[in-house]
Structure 1
Amino acid sequence: MLCHSDHPPIKPGHMLARGVLRMLRSLDHSPMTEFVPTRGLRVDVVSIGPKGEIWVVECKSSRADFVSDRKWQGYLEWCDRYFWAVDAGFPSEVLPECSGLILADAYGADIIRMPEERRLAPGRRNKLTRQIARASIARLQVLTDPDSFNGAEV
């Protein structure tokens, strides 16, 4: 039997993502963590809204985590709205004003600042929606048949 101490500790960014996922579900979004829209980019949270809108949320647990993130501007071309999710102790004044701001913890989140919408081109939206659907289905299949993927990333 596994003890609680047998599990690796949950990282602060994962705690923020959990709260963000809960908040997005309450907005009728379908979110997913750790999504790769294109080679070299991995977003913390991607979400498809009820009207097909695509949001990306990057979870930052510290100022150092934010400063070391050199890829975030590459995420802008893969969503209609881009957000940062941080906890109450994060110095939010360092975050760019043009992006959204979500205040989160492990149990929930609130949108503090809604970013301006920048609509994806229809072709990119179609391709991205298919990628998200395929990744979601693959992750579900791993739950029911773990041996079917033999180490492939999902």
Structure 2
Amino acid sequence: MQLSDAARQTRPDITLAVCRGACRLMRQSGRAVLRELPLPDGRRADIMAIGGNGELTIVEVKSSIEDWRVDQKWPDYLAWCDLLYFAVPVDFPQALIAEEVGLIVADAYGGDILRHPPRRPVAAARRKSLLIDCARLSAERLARLEDPEFVDFL
């Protein structure tokens, strides 16, 4: 008996696939995406998506029930975005996701929004600070791709 490709996927494979699909969904909706964004409170957003009007959306990726259970810090993300979603694989038990956040189901090819979250506007000063952080991190990542041999002596 052979296992299907889906049954052989490891948790990192599932996380990567869900993340890719959620990023594609955000980009299709006109948002720019930045993965693995460190937040000022020490947390790290899996995906920060920025709308053309500066709207900040965080998407947290959960690949399994275990991943969900060990990571109950999601209320901390509410202070850093206008919209908060969880992105999960198709077979994830959706009833576990709190009603006060959005829900995305995704795979490696795309995703669907099953539930939109309420909009909780970020204060203007915090928005400006986060947008600057996103711009600086994005520019630095691009520079490192263009010049991977650069050594910073500071």
User: Per the shorter chain, which TM-score range?
Assistant: 0.7 to 0.9
**Equivalents in 2 of 1:96, 1:87: separation in Å?**
16
Q: Is this contact kept in 1: 2:84–2:102, CA < 8 A? A: yes
Counterpart for residue 33 of structure 2? 31
Counterpart for residue 60 of structure 2? 58
Q: Is this contact kept in 2: 1:55–1:81, CA < 8 A? A: yes
Q: 1:127 to 1:93 in 2, by over 3 A?
A: same
2:114 to 107, 112, 115: 112
SS of 2:24's equivalent in the other structure is helix
Q: Is this contact kept in 2: 1:142–1:149, CA < 8 A? A: no
2:98 to 96, 99, 102: 96
Counterpart for residue 44 of structure 2? 42
- Report the alpha carbon displacement of residue 11 of structure 1 after superposing the two structures with TM: 2.6
AA partner of residue 72 (structure 2):
R
- The list of structure 1 runs, each at least 4 consecutive aligned residues, that deviate by more than 4 angstroms after superposition, is none
- Report the alpha carbon displacement of residue 47 of structure 1 after superposing the two structures with TM: 0.6
Q: Alpha-carbon deviations, 1:8-63, whole Å to 9, x = none?
A: x8531111110011111111100111111125211110010121100000010111
**Equivalents in 1 of 2:151, 2:60: separation in Å?**
27
1:11 to 1, 10, 13: 13
Q: How many residues align?
A: 142
Structure 2: runs of 5 or more not aligned: 1-9
Cα RMSD, aligned residues only: 1.3
Q: TM-score, normalised by structure 1?
A: 0.88
Q: Is this contact kept in 1: 2:14–2:89, CA < 8 A? A: no
**Equivalents in 2 of 1:97, 1:34: separation in Å?**
24
1:148 to 141, 147, 150: 150
Counterpart for residue 81 of structure 2? 79
- Report the alpha carbon displacement of residue 70 of structure 1 after superposing the two structures with TM: 2.9
The equivalences for 1:117-136 within 5 A come to: 117-136=119-138
Q: TM-score, normalised by structure 2?
A: 0.88
